[in-house]
A and B are shown apart, each in its own frame.
Chain A
Amino acid sequence: MEKITRSVVKKDHAPKISGHSVYVADYPAEGVLCGKLLHANIARAKVLRVETPELPEGYFYVDAKDVPGDNNVNIVLDDTPVYCRGTVEYIGEPIAMLCGPDEAVVTRLRDACKVEYEELEPALDLRKATETFFDYRFGHGDVDKAFSEADRVYDEEFETGYQEQAYLETQGMMAEPEENGRMFVHGSSQCVYYIHGAVMRALGCGPDGVRVLQDVTGGGFGGKEDFPSILGCQVAVAARKCGKAVRCVLDRREDMEYTSKRHPSLCRYKVAVRDGKVTAMDIDVTLNAGAYSTLSAVVLQRGIIAAPGVYNVPNLRVHGRALKTNTAPCGAFRGFGAPQTFFAVEMMMDHIARDLGVEPLSFKEAHLVRQGDFTSTCGRYHFPVPLPAMIDKIDKACDYRKKRAEYAKPQTGRYRRGIGMSLCFHGAGFTGSGERDLIKAVAKLRKYRDGTVEILASNGDIGQGVRTTFPKIVAHELNLPLDKVYYQHPDTARVPDSGPTVASRSLMVVGELLRRAAIRLREQWADGEEQEVEERFKEPDFIIPFHIDKFEGDAYPTYAWAVNAIELEIDTYTGVAKALGAYGAFDVGTPVDYNVVMGQMEGGFLQGIGYASMEQMNYDDKGRIRNNSFSDYLIPTAKDVPNLYCTLHVEKYPDGPYGAKGAGELPLVGAPGAYLSAVEQALDGVALHHVPFTAEDTLSVMTKEAV
């Protein structure tokens, strides 16, 4: 094991376990007003008027009229309002915020507000939705010719549901007007500079008029990428009006029902096969974006780029759309569009293989991409593709091929078993030229006279460990003990913009900037002096420039790879599937701290199994999400997958620190395909097309198919 990989006790371990860490809800309430949002309860309507109760002294009603700047939240586009702009577009849309010193009184006042609506017809069914936020097409080769020459053609549709991030700490932001007129905004978040830009715009002020700090954050998983910008604008506007600090922490039901989650999807795959080989794919991907566009453009881009999976498809046509419905806007969640398409392509390959009478794994192996091959966007896989070695590793860990053959034999008892495997990648870092053109990351090291070194960057620790791994890199290069290097939660008043905490980019991209900065600092090191070193992102030379208008070039510099197998046993009386084992081999390059990386792999893998099996969320015919609590939306407990085995394969990336690649998202992506493939096998080879696949689904399939 390389020295950098050896685990250390995490820097934030002691304050977190002892309960000393201060999350946004933990600041004392003295002098802070409590904010509660008044949410729309109709999916689409004109708001005619809001009748507010008489407000006691010190209590405030804040809405769009109070926004001093622009009532639009700057995300990718700017269609999301800070406060409702006259019509509401989904159940939960914030109309106003009630603020005051006593939470119980604020809640009572909020609940006493009467909103008069003129109802409009909402768009709720994704299949019938007509308003398109984003529409992309790309491809290569001659798809029509391949289909005309095919000896078999397959056409199937796959569906995935919502997934709620379910971070244990709900969304919460706080804004405090400072004496110098600056607005200090802080809270649970991933991207301080996103919030900074959004609040500047809402308050109509310059960059010095806003300061944003990340508080200790109780999990993000993407859910705190865009939403804190919205909530941050809302509390900042409220604090400006009230002239006092305002804090708004969502309760669990508000958070689950109204904040962003993974996009539900419909993926239609038409596949041409000739002489036992896939010759073309014609893929149509539709995402349910919800009422505002938020991050849907980039989620869709990642999803469609991954649509042909880890396979060589000589002729490819991809069409992707993100459609508007009158439901809560969907946003970022670990995997960012790729779990949906990887699920579809893995099931499609399974189904084709079985129809051809070939074992799915062998069929997939015959189509695997290799180093030097074209990507879906005519970029290149510049580095070795380690999937064959990783398949072997998983086969050894769980006896995959033997079990697969054994469970394929007819099963007739109450309990029936299945095992499935999926293969996937995750493109590391921002899609396309985002790092070069949009983010332009800057990171700094500041050395103090006493020889301690502070890392100045904007990436937040949301549990993934950057407060530990960043200092490990810098300490390693400077030959310093780890306690001499530290990294605090980012504060825009102190740190440069090294980009958001998203896209599995922090360690790979910003970690490498810090490594290079540390080498320069080492070269210039002068005892007893204060010194500062800055590094800026530079795109690696090997990159084939990406053109988003044509979807052409290297969408990602490199890829992290995963092989997942899931073995389960279905109780045919109850439909309940018991996970006998979940096995994952992951290549995220060199782990900069073994435990930290394994924690990401195990945690992400289990989230993916939850997505595949139990995490069911949907809305009713009014557009209201019914699964808004941990009683109605189940996430895995310590008992659900006791045998969760992860192992690492290391294929170094030369432009990541010590060979590290993006890690955070990869482990979730492949789980649904492996899970459903195992369910199919246990259910006598029936072809299935959706996740989550619950016990109820199993019973309904068994009844229908007389399994």
Chain B
Amino acid sequence: MDGIRFTLNGTEVTYGGNATDRLLDVLRDSYHCTSVKCGCKEGECGACAALIDGVLYNSCCVALGAVSGASVVTMEGFRETERFTALEKAFGEFSAVQCGFCIPGMTLAAEALLSKNPHPTEEEIREGLSGNLCRCTGYNAIVNAVANAAREGDGLW
């Protein structure tokens, strides 16, 4: 076997380790994607969220074998996009980033939501972000930022 091939942030990579290795660890340790945070390692907090073929996953609960042939996007890739710029600006305007640990995952959750539903209601935003824990903000600023990004970034999603 010549390794597990997948696309990471637009670049084809071949991982030489085991198919059972944890995507979170591989992203951080082998590919230096340290925006992917380890908050609990058991799929509860969302800090390690990554997009796999556009769908939001907790990378701590994904085995490497499962991403064979897939496209994996972390903040390292997403931050190069126009959509990120729109979200980044909105989060900044609402000071939605406090300690920042949940934020790369939270931003990817917003991306996953908006790419399915470009004009979500507040309730849909709260539902879309409910798998990502934030202990600092009380969520209002984040929810407002996502709503604002959807409005201002009209057409991007």
**Given A18-B88, A638-B142, A638-B143, CB of A602 within 8 Å of CB of B99:** no
**Given A10-B92, A252-B41, CB of A639 within 8 Å of CB of B126:** yes
Is B40 among interface residues, defined by CB-CB distance under 8 A? yes
Question: B47-90, CB under 8 A of A: which get 1 and which 0?
Answer: 10000000000000000000000000011100100001001100
CB contacts (< 8 Å) of B152 on chain A: these are none
Taken together as a complex, chains A and B put the C-alpha atoms of A630 and B125 apart, in Å, by 22
Taken together as a complex, chains A and B put the C-alpha atoms of A234 and B96 apart, in Å, by 35
Taken together as a complex, chains A and B put the C-alpha atoms of A465 and B97 apart, in Å, by 9
A99 to chain B, nearest CB (A): 18
Taken together as a complex, chains A and B put the C-alpha atoms of A26 and B47 apart, in Å, by 14
On whether the beta carbons of A167 and B99 are closer than 8 Å, the reply is: yes
Contact residues, B123-144 vs A (CB, 8 A): 123, 125-127, 129-143
Interface of B is mostly: loop
Interface centre among A9, A18, A169 (most CB of B within 10 A): A18
Chain A, Cβ-Cβ closest to B75: A19
On whether the beta carbons of B101 and A169 are closer than 8 Å, the reply is: yes
Taken together as a complex, chains A and B put the C-alpha atoms of A462 and B100 apart, in Å, by 9
B105 to chain A, nearest CB (A): 9
**Given A602-B141, A637-B130, A642-B122, CB of A10 within 8 Å of CB of B95:** yes
Taken together as a complex, chains A and B put the C-alpha atoms of A474 and B98 apart, in Å, by 21
CB contacts (< 8 Å) of A596 on chain B: these are 95
Contact residues, A586-635 vs B (CB, 8 A): 593, 595-596, 598-599, 601-607, 629-631, 635
CB contacts (< 8 Å) of A639 on chain B: these are 126-127, 130
Is A463 among interface residues, defined by CB-CB distance under 8 A? yes
Contact residues, B1-60 vs A (CB, 8 A): 28-29, 32-42, 44-45, 47
Is B103 among interface residues, defined by CB-CB distance under 8 A? yes
On whether the beta carbons of B127 and A16 are closer than 8 Å, the reply is: no
Interface size class of B (residues with CB under 8 A): 35 or more
Is A12 among interface residues, defined by CB-CB distance under 8 A? yes
On whether the beta carbons of B129 and A630 are closer than 8 Å, the reply is: no
On whether the beta carbons of A17 and B99 are closer than 8 Å, the reply is: no
CB contacts (< 8 Å) of A18 on chain B: these are 35, 75, 79, 84, 88, 104
A416 to chain B, nearest CB (A): 23
On whether the beta carbons of A16 and B139 are closer than 8 Å, the reply is: no
CB contacts (< 8 Å) of A217 on chain B: these are 99
Interface centre among B100, B125, B132 (most CB of A within 10 A): B100
A636 to chain B, nearest CB (A): 8
CB contacts (< 8 Å) of B143 on chain A: these are 638
| A interface residues, Cβ below 8 angstroms from B | 7, 9-10, 12-14, 16-23, 25-26, 28-29, 165-170, 216-221, 251-252, 462-465, 593, 595-596, 598-599, 601-607, 629-631, 635-639, 641-642, 644
16 CB contacts below 8 A, A to B, read: A9-B95, A14-B92, A18-B79, A19-B33, A23-B34, A25-B38, A168-B102, A221-B135, A602-B138, A605-B138, A629-B44, A630-B40, A631-B42, A637-B139, A638-B139, A641-B138
Taken together as a complex, chains A and B put the C-alpha atoms of A31 and B143 apart, in Å, by 41
B91 to chain A, nearest CB (A): 6
On whether the beta carbons of B130 and A19 are closer than 8 Å, the reply is: no
B20 to chain A, nearest CB (A): 13
Taken together as a complex, chains A and B put the C-alpha atoms of A638 and B104 apart, in Å, by 16
A251 to chain B, nearest CB (A): 6
Chain A, Cβ-Cβ closest to B79: A18
Taken together as a complex, chains A and B put the C-alpha atoms of A216 and B36 apart, in Å, by 15
Taken together as a complex, chains A and B put the C-alpha atoms of A462 and B28 apart, in Å, by 23
CB contacts (< 8 Å) of B154 on chain A: these are none
CB contacts (< 8 Å) of A10 on chain B: these are 92, 95, 97
A261 to chain B, nearest CB (A): 13
Interface centre among A216, A221, A595 (most CB of B within 10 A): A595
